[in-house]
Amino acid sequence: MKYGLKKFWSVVAFALLLFTVSQAEAVRPAGQPGKDWGGPENAKCAECHMKESPGLWKQWNESQHGQNGVGCLDCHKAAEKDVDAFEHKGQNIAVLVTPKDCAQCHATEVNEQQRSHHASAGKILHSLDNLLGEVVGGPAAVNVGCRQCHGSVVKLDVKKRPTTDTWPNTGIGRINPDGSLGSCSACHGRHNFSRAQARHPDTCGKCHIGPDHPQLEVYNESQHGIQFRANINKMNLGSDKWEAGIDYTAAPTCSTCHMSAVPGRPKTHDVGERISWNLRSPISNRINLIRLDNGTSFDSPDGKPLPKVGDMIEARGGKVIEVITSEERRGRMQDVCFACHGERLVTGHYKQLDDFVELYNEKFANPIKNIMAELKASGKITKSPFDEKIEWIWWEIWHHEGRVARHGASMMGPDYAWWHGMYEVAKHTYFEFIPELKHVVGEEEAKRLLEKHFKPIAGHDWYFNGMNKEALQKINKEYEKRYGKGSVN
C-alpha cells in the first residue's frame, strides 16, 4: 500500500511538472530563445535602466516579457536603414515600438489588428470630427484630445526621435513611420504588457467614453457591468486562455464580447468582426464585412450588392478573400452570448435592439436628414459644414444623443437608451430643430417640409394633433389607482 501511494504521488508530481512547463511555454513568445528574442545583449540595457528609470525597469521585469527573457532590444532594436533608427550605446534603436515590431512574435494578433476598426481610427484626421476640432477648437486641443485616442501621424525630428507635437501618442490608429497602424500599448500598457489590463473595461474607457461614444458609461450601468464589479475577484483576468464560460462566468467585459474566445469561437484582435449594426452614422445600417488580400477590410451596408471572393476592389487596392455577412457577424457575437445565456434571452435582446434602432432611424434620423438635404439643395443653407446653427443641432442629435441612445440599447443600459438617449433626441428635434427650421425657411415652408417628412410617420401624430385623449385618460386612471383619487390635477 505504501509503495502504491508513493508511486501515485510520484505520478501526480510528474503530471504537475509537465503542466507547469506547458503553461510556461504557453506564455512565451514565438521563436527560439537567444535567437529570436532574449539575447545576452539585453543585460546591458536592463542594468542601465534599473538605475536610470527604475519604475520602467520594474514594470518590465515583473511582466511576462521580463520573466521569459524578452528584453529591451527585442522590441526597440532597429535596422540601420529604418526611418526612425538612431544610435544609442552602440546599438541602433527606435523609440517607437510599433505593431510591426510586435509582429515578430505576435504575427496573428497583429494581422487581425491591422485589418480592424482600431487600426483605421486614424482616419478621423480626414473627417468632420477632426475639422471641428482643428478649426473650432484648435490644433493644440486636437493633439491632446482627438489624437490621443484616434492616433496621430508620428513625425520625426532630425535626430530620428518623434517630434514633441506628435509624441507621446498611443492612439489606437496611430500612423507610424514604418507604415504600420496603431499602438499595441494603447491596451497593453508599456512596459508590463498586461493581459488583465487589456481585458478590464476601464482600459477601453480611455476612448469609449463621453457624449458621442459612451460605451463605458453604458456598460457600467448594465447588468454586465454591475456583475463585473461585484465579482471582479472571480474574473481570472490574468489567465492565459481566458475563455468565457470556461475560465470565468461572472460577467463579460468589452473584450469578452468583441475579442475573446468562447466555446466554438476563437479569440480575435479584429474588434469589429462581431458587430452587425453600424451605430455611429446618422442613419444606422446592418453591415457586412469585406476582407481583402492586402490585409485590410471594410464594411458594406445591407442592401448594397456584395462583392464575391476573388473580385478586385480597385478603390481599395486588393482582391476579396472573405465576405462575412451581417447575419454571420451577428452569429459570431451571439456565440459569445450563448456561453452564459439561453436562446430566448439572446434572441429577445436582439429583437429589442433592432426595434429600437429602427425607431430611431424611421422616426427621427431619416426625416431630419431628408429635410437637411432639401435645405442644401434649395440653397437655404450652404453646403459647408458647421456654418449654420441648424447644422449643429442635427450634428448633436445624431452624433451625440443618437449614438448614446443606440449604444444604450445595444449594451443594455436603460438610462442611456432613454433619458440620455432617445428622450434627448426627441426633445432636441421638437424644441430645437423644428424652431430653428422655422427661423431658417419661415413658417409656411417649414410647415410644408414637416408635413412631407414628419406627418406621415405615426409617431409624430401627437405633435400635429396633440396628445391622444384616450391615452391621457388611461395614464390618469393608473396614476390615481397608484396614488389615490384626486391626485391628478
Q: Is residue 168 one of the residues assigned to a domain?
A: yes
Task: Assess whether 105 and 183 both reside in one domain.
Answer: yes
Task: Assess whether 281 and 358 both reside in one domain.
Answer: no
CA quadruple 53, 58, 64, 70: dihedral positive or negative? positive
pTM tops 0.85, yes or no: yes
Q: Is residue 155 one of the residues assigned to a domain?
A: yes
Task: Assess whether 452 and 420 both reside in one domain.
Answer: yes
pLDDT one-digit tens code per residue, 81-130? 999 999 999 999 999 999 999 999 999 999 999 999 999 998 886 788 88
**How is residue 255 written as a grid cell?**
473584450
- Judged by DSSP in three states, 399 sits in helix
Instruction: State the Cα–Cα distance between residues 402 and 266, nearest whole angstrom.
Output: 33
Task: Assess whether 67 and 100 both reside in one domain.
Answer: no
Q: Is residue 210 one of the residues assigned to a domain?
A: no
Task: Assess whether 122 and 181 both reside in one domain.
Answer: yes
Q: Is residue 46 one of the residues assigned to a domain?
A: yes
pLDDT value at position 34?
67
Task: Assess whether 116 and 167 both reside in one domain.
Answer: yes
pLDDT one-digit tens code per residue, 235-291? 999 998 999 999 999 999 999 999 999 999 999 999 999 999 999 999 999 999 999
Q: Is residue 399 one of the residues assigned to a domain?
A: yes
Task: Assess whether 54 and 99 both reside in one domain.
Answer: no
Q: Element (H or E) spanning 333, and its range?
A: helix 326-337
328 contacts: CB under 8 Å, gap ≥ 6: none
Q: Is residue 430 one of the residues assigned to a domain?
A: yes
Task: Assess whether 105 and 182 both reside in one domain.
Answer: yes
205 contacts: CB under 8 Å, gap ≥ 6: 215, 216
Task: Assess whether 68 and 99 both reside in one domain.
Answer: no
pLDDT value at position 15?
40
Task: Assess whether 117 and 49 both reside in one domain.
Answer: no
Instruction: State the Cα–Cα distance between residues 442 and 383, nearest whole angstrom.
Output: 20
What is the CB-side half-sphere exposure of residue 224 using CA atoms within 13 A?
22
Task: Assess whether 315 and 409 both reside in one domain.
Answer: no
The residue range of the domain holding 70 is: 25-76
Paired with 324 in beta bridges are 289
Q: Is residue 228 one of the residues assigned to a domain?
A: no
- 467 pLDDT above the threshold of 70: yes
Proportion of the chain above pLDDT 70, given as a percent: 93
Task: Assess whether 187 and 131 both reside in one domain.
Answer: yes
Q: Is residue 359 one of the residues assigned to a domain?
A: yes
The number of domains in the chain is: 4
